[in-house]
Amino acid sequence: MEVANILGDLVVADYRVRTQIRENLEINYFRHENQPIAAQIAFQLAFCYRIGFGVKSDGSKCDMWLEKSNRQSDDFKIEKEVVRPTMWKKGRMSRVNGLMTVDIIHEYRIWGRNMLQEASAEYERDADDMAREFGDLHFIPLGLYSISGDLLDELGELAKSKALRMRFRDQMQRSDGVRLSYYIASIVDLAQSQNELGERQAAQELQEIVARYLERIYGVQTPETADIMNNLSSTYYYQGRWKEAEELCLFALKMKTRELGKEHPDTAVCMGNFAAIYTRQGRWKEAEELGVEFTEISKRVLGQEHPDTLRAIDNLAAIYRAQGQWFKGEELSVQSLEMRKRILGQEHPDTLFSMANHAAIYRDQRRWKEAEEVEIQVVEMRKRVLDPEYPNTLISQNNLANDSTSPDGPSLG
């Protein structure tokens, strides 16, 4: 197995896959130590220790395996030239932290906060080692840093994630040799961080830049443009610009439906966003119809416990709550909350989101004591787990202080 030939694909794989490949190479070396193939395996191991593939970069171990291979260090240059970017095929942009990594991130979420922390540290280590060997703006460290940013988001370390993404965006701006698709991906990632931190205007400006790039490169009618329009729609949503959000979301939904079909996860997310926009506009019947459809598609396509499905259930509960259908809203809210507690743990940001909305349902029913008990838990855990300045932490504190009936509200994918 030649590491260089598979390196591009494995950037978006579970970091433990890289570790297992390196360990298997070592096992195979000792199994075939007296055979001609041993020298080739030794060189692959030297390359692993040189670049930090599945193990921390280590110069002395690299030299040890290189000596066993009877090769020269100059051969590493040839090996690195074999590495090819597989993430952007046929000139079309496919974001590193989009569909290709969503299942990886979801698995880490299910395994809990400790696994998220371990994965985050490992991806950061991988990225730093690869950057030293290939350069900061090579597609491999860029891909690894992008996933690292997503993991930091999952851990609630939003400021750190933003700083990481801003650094690479700024580096790309100063570089003449970076492909436009990589630069666009860096802007999309940074806008994501800004949205998470509540910096809506800054996120909007970046998303509008990306939209113009994509229109110029690909034309308006592409899935890539639809992704950006949907993201921009989400920003308008959080700014209270319902009409603009609706127009862009409708554009994205029509395009996704035509290109990917109604049952595709991307299409379903657009549908859920559209339902949330209708909710904010008081268009209950339309919101409920879309919300029910989004929930059913998510259950069928992604499974009952996928984050998008749980988000769909929470949002449908919010729609029922807004219409005064307390029983339906509470039933769904309890369902989502219990699953998130079991899968993600009590202190995961998504669990806290469900708890905050559950408290709002209690408040609407004038069940003040139950609402206060839940809201106090949310405030304390958000302070402990997230940045105190994180927008949802501040919302929870405000709700508790003012006896507010406003939850976090429907969330957008």
CATH code: domain of residue 310:
1.25.40.10
In a domain, 188, yes or no: no
CA–CA gap between residue 368 and residue 372 (Å, rounded): 6
* pLDDT for position 78: 87
Distance, CA of 290 to CA of 297 (rounded, Å): 10
Residue closest to 299 by CA, chosen among 268, 274, 258: 268
Q: Which of 19, 53, 82 is the last residue of a domain?
A: 82
Residue 321 within a domain: yes
Q: Domain ends where: 82, 109, 135?
A: 82
| Alpha helices, H only, 58-176 | 59-69, 75-82, 99-111, 113-134, 139-154, 158-174
Q: Is residue 200 part of a domain?
A: no
Q: What is the structure's pLDDT at 367? A: 86
Residues in CB range of 199: below 8 A, 6 or more apart: none
Q: What is the pLDDT of residue 345?
A: 78
Residue 28, domain member (yes or no): yes
Residue 49 resides in a domain = yes
- Is residue 107 assigned to a domain? no
CB 320 within 8 A of CB 301: no
- CA 164 to CA 219: how far, in whole Å? 30
Residue where a domain terminates, one of 59, 82, 105: 82
Q: Would you give the end-to-end CA distance of the chain in angstroms?
A: 39
Q: What is the pLDDT of residue 84?
A: 65
Residue keyed to tokens 């839940």: 374
Residue 184 lies in a domain: no
> What local confidence, expressed as pLDDT, does residue 46 receive?
95
Greatest pairwise CA separation for the chain in angstroms: 78
Counted domains in the chain:
2
Residue 386: inside a domain, yes or no?
yes
Look up residue 396 and give its two tokens: 């929870």
d(CA 288, CA 113): 34
Domain extent, residue 66, equals 3-82
Are the C-beta atoms of 195 and 203 separated by less than 8 Å? yes
How far apart are alpha carbons 234 and 83 in whole angstroms? 37
The low-confidence residues of the chain, meaning pLDDT below 50, are 87-102, 389-408
Q: How many CB atoms lie within 10 A of CB 319?
A: 25
